[in-house]
Amino acid sequence: MNAVMDAMRARLAALDPVSIEITDDSAKHAGHAGARGGGGHFRLTIVSSRFAGFRTMERHRLVYDALGPLMRQEIHALSISARTPDEK
């Protein structure tokens, strides 16, 4: 696991996740403008009861807010799947 993924996990802990899966897809985007600037490409699957009652965009906003400053430099692209424990 890399330092950015560790930092992501630490910041996402604020959402009280039941589970978190992070995949670093940065190698697939080598040469891409964001990759040259140092930002990585990640896929995130996060399950938390904190998402109950929220629409997809609201859930993503919670994730972006939790990640805070990482979204400005360390993360160039982020694919998010945010679900409650009751959702499959």
Question: For position 72, which CATH number holds?
Answer: 3.30.300.90
Q: What percentage of residues in the chain have a pLDDT greater than 70?
A: 88
Say if 88 falls within a structural domain.
Answer: no
Residue 46 lies in a domain: yes
Sign of the C-alpha dihedral computed for residues 62, 66, 67 and 69 taken in this order? positive
Tell me if 33 is assigned to some domain.
yes
Domain annotation covers residue 63: yes
Residues 6+ apart with CB under 8 A from 4: 24, 40, 42, 70, 74, 75
Is 58 a member of any domain?
Answer: yes
Residue 78 pLDDT level (bands cut at 50, 70, 90):
very high
Q: Which domain covers residue 32, as residue numbers?
A: 3-83
Tokens representing 74 are 């360390």
Task: Taking residues 63-71, report their average pLDDT.
Answer: 96
Burial of 16 (0-12, 13-18, 19+ CB in 10 A): exposed
pTM of the full structure: 0.87
What length does the chain have? Answer: 88
Number of domains in the chain: 1
User: Measured between alpha carbons, how far is 42 from 24 in angstroms, rounded to an integer?
Assistant: 5
Average pLDDT in the 45-53 region? 98
* 67 vs 41: which has the higher pLDDT: 67
